[in-house]
A and B are shown apart, each in its own frame.
Chain A
Amino acid sequence: MTQEKELHRYYARLRTKFIAIIFFIAFIPLILLGGTTYYHYSATVKEKIRKELKLIAKNRKDTIDLFLNDRANSLSVLAYTHTFDYLGKKENLHNVFQLLKMVDSAFQDMGVINSNGKQVAYIGPYHLTGKQYSQTEWFKAVMKKNVYISDVFLGFRKVPHFIIAVKRIENGKPWILRTTIDINMINHFMCTALLGKHGADAYILSREGTYQISTADNDLILTKSEFKMPSVFRGIKEMEGCHGEKALICAIAWLKNNDWLMVIEQDLKYELSPMVRVKNTALSIFIISSLIIIISTILITKRVFARLEKVDREKSQLSEQLVRSDRLAAIGKLASGIAHEINNPLAVISEKAGWIGDLLTEEDVKNSPNYSELIKSTEDIKKHVKRGKKVISRLMGFARKEEVVYGNVDINSVLDETHDFLNKKAIYQNIAIMKEFHEDLPSIVTDGAQLQQVFINIVNNAIDAINKDGVIRLITKGRDGGVLIAIADTGPGMPEEVQEKIFNPFFTTKPVGKGTGLGLSTSYGIVEKLGGHLTVESEVGKGTTFYITLPPSCEQKTKG
């Protein structure tokens, strides 16, 4: 029925809401827990990387600064302990250079340049004696500064290198001692720092942002870097940023009197691989627990709600029955009151009509021309009083509490009687009453006479409903130790509105005077009293079936 559908929809909505709330409540802590754990863990890991990088950077900065200072100092010592004339001679320069090389392999060559910028002596792998340096930047710088360490440049030899130059003024005339430093030495320092680190890179940029040294790729040297040059600062700085698609953490430091910027960067992808593992584990735990939550929630709510809905439906059915029996009781009381009040006037009318009839038989009236009319009228009055009496009798039958007379009843034989009783009437209307009995039907303890009344009522209704040509089937079946009786007709059926009302007293679809509207309500009352249920199923155009279920024994119920 529509009410049931509505109930079902209501429960479906409630269930969805319930599931949504449970998901919400279950997932929020899960997500929070996972999220914060992941966040803190990754922050810790990043912090560790940062500290590590910072330490490396500090270490390298000190090493490189010390290295450059040492070389510059060594050169200064050489320049100030020897004269221009002495070193300007190739053999002497050669001896000194060889001596130096023995203790320090960083020096690649050595040259002596006079105040005009001409290299007067040179020891090294290239042929650079007599080269003119007056126009080079480093020459101009060293003339101003006394000690100068150059950026990396190609020079005459067309190979990236850098030089350290020291100026000495001897007898008012400046001269310069110059040496080339192997950039691989510095490269080596940086490489050892990064030993065993995946995705790490270290390089040195000039103030203008060109590569001086790169551990990753020597071809980069002297090309312009995309690195955004920071302003000069002391100590070590760390930065987090992106380079292309790579997420990087880097530590930077200024070297060589703030001429060079050392960058040590770490690709987070490598360093964070344990993080990724943690992330994956956490994610799979999350997915598994989510699945468990979802499945268990859906299963549990489904079960709970099915139970709830069933209980509710049963409750509403029960209350429907209660309301119905309450209504029947109230109507019964009313009916019996009315019956009493109407019965007496009916008795008087009946007697008066009888008396008139009696008097009419006296001779003087017999000759009256209207005699036959008068007789007919009194007969009619009597007839209709009888009709009224019948209605009242049924009303009372409906209202009274008839004692149940128990006995072992064979439902099949009761239905046989019903069949015999109504078959003539049915045949007359070309209706076949078919018996489809279950042969080994258990006999049950109930009131056969009252059941007979119920069967006759329903079959009578079926005959009236079919009117002409049709079939009525009387079906019996065993059910839970009791009996199920179905009475099916091929009548026109009933719409739902009618089905809902047929058990109400005084509801009838029969023409006025033919039905009292009490048959089915009385039947309903009887079946309930016997501990059974009377229900109807009907479809317009197909027919109607009444179902009566009866328990094995109704005694316990009526006693309670």
Chain B
Amino acid sequence: MQEIQMLLVDDEDDFRTTLANRLKLRKIDVTDAASGDEAIEMVKQRSFDVAVIDVKMPGTDGIETLKQVKKIQPAIEIVMLTGHASIESGMEAMKLGAYDYVMKPCDIDELLIKAGDAYQHRLLKEKEK
């Protein structure tokens, strides 16, 4: 299976770098961004299969980043990381085009499954075209 090209966006450095390391260990090509603006810049430069974006960030927040990224790369699949232990922000993100959401602190396996599903979804859509 081809490696998933993933963009990981989270302002919490310790969390982001560690998660990135663990994902890399599980054969995922992870690029990380520390803020929404940084992520938008990266999306402008290259394409990704899946973006994992934290909802709650200073400056450009997760929802705004989601909108911008989707604008630049409509095909990208997005999984939201939500700090809220509620469905609300996840639901909102899904309305705005996110594929799924994972609650923080997240189980890495759950994230992997959802990211994988998102990737499959993207592949399916590409095939349909």
> What residues of chain A have their CB less than 8 Å away from a CB belonging to chain B?
339-340, 343-344, 346-352, 354-355, 358, 385, 389, 392-393, 395-397, 400, 402
Determine whether B86 belongs to the interface, using a CB cutoff of 8 Å to chain A. yes
Determine whether B121 belongs to the interface, using a CB cutoff of 8 Å to chain A. no
Within 8 A of A (CB), among B3-35: 12, 14-15, 18-19, 21-22, 25
The answer to whether A351 touches B19 (Cβ under 8 A) is: yes
B108 to A, closest residue via Cβ: A354
Residues on the A chain within 8 Å of B83, using CB: 340, 343-344, 347
Most buried by A among B56, B84, B88: B84
The answer to whether A393 touches B12 (Cβ under 8 A) is: no
Residues on the B chain within 8 Å of A402, using CB: 86
The answer to whether A355 touches B18 (Cβ under 8 A) is: yes
The answer to whether A355 touches B14 (Cβ under 8 A) is: no
The answer to whether B86 touches A397 (Cβ under 8 A) is: yes
Residues on the A chain within 8 Å of B25, using CB: 358
Within 8 A of A (CB), among B84-119: 84-86, 88, 103-106, 108
Residues on the A chain within 8 Å of B84, using CB: 340, 396, 400
Interface of A is mostly: helix
Given contacts A347-B104, A348-B15, A351-B15, contact A389 B85 (CB under 8 A): yes
The answer to whether B86 touches A352 (Cβ under 8 A) is: no
The smallest C-beta distance from B48 to any residue of chain A, in angstroms, reads: 21
The answer to whether B22 touches A393 (Cβ under 8 A) is: no
The answer to whether A348 touches B86 (Cβ under 8 A) is: no
Residues on the A chain within 8 Å of B88, using CB: 400
The answer to whether B22 touches A351 (Cβ under 8 A) is: yes
Task: Give the complex CA separation of A229 and B52 in angstroms.
Answer: 132
Given contacts A340-B56, A344-B12, A358-B22, contact A351 B105 (CB under 8 A): yes
Closest 5 CB pairs of A and B: A347-B105, A393-B85, A350-B105, A396-B85, A351-B18
B91 to A, closest residue via Cβ: A403
Task: Give the complex CA separation of A156 and B83 in angstroms.
Answer: 144
Residues on the A chain within 8 Å of B19, using CB: 351
Task: Give the complex CA separation of A348 and B105 in angstroms.
Answer: 8
Residues on the B chain within 8 Å of A393, using CB: 85, 103
The answer to whether A354 touches B86 (Cβ under 8 A) is: no
A343 to B, closest residue via Cβ: B83
Residues on the A chain within 8 Å of B21, using CB: 355, 358
Task: Give the complex CA separation of A389 and B12 in angstroms.
Answer: 18
The answer to whether B85 touches A392 (Cβ under 8 A) is: yes
The answer to whether B108 touches A343 (Cβ under 8 A) is: no
Residues on the A chain within 8 Å of B56, using CB: 340
The answer to whether A348 touches B12 (Cβ under 8 A) is: yes
Task: Give the complex CA separation of A340 and B15 in angstroms.
Answer: 15
Most buried by A among B15, B22, B85: B85
The answer to whether A348 touches B18 (Cβ under 8 A) is: yes
Report which of A344, A352, A396, A400 forms a contact with B18, defined as CB distance below 8 A. Answer: A352
The answer to whether A347 touches B106 (Cβ under 8 A) is: yes
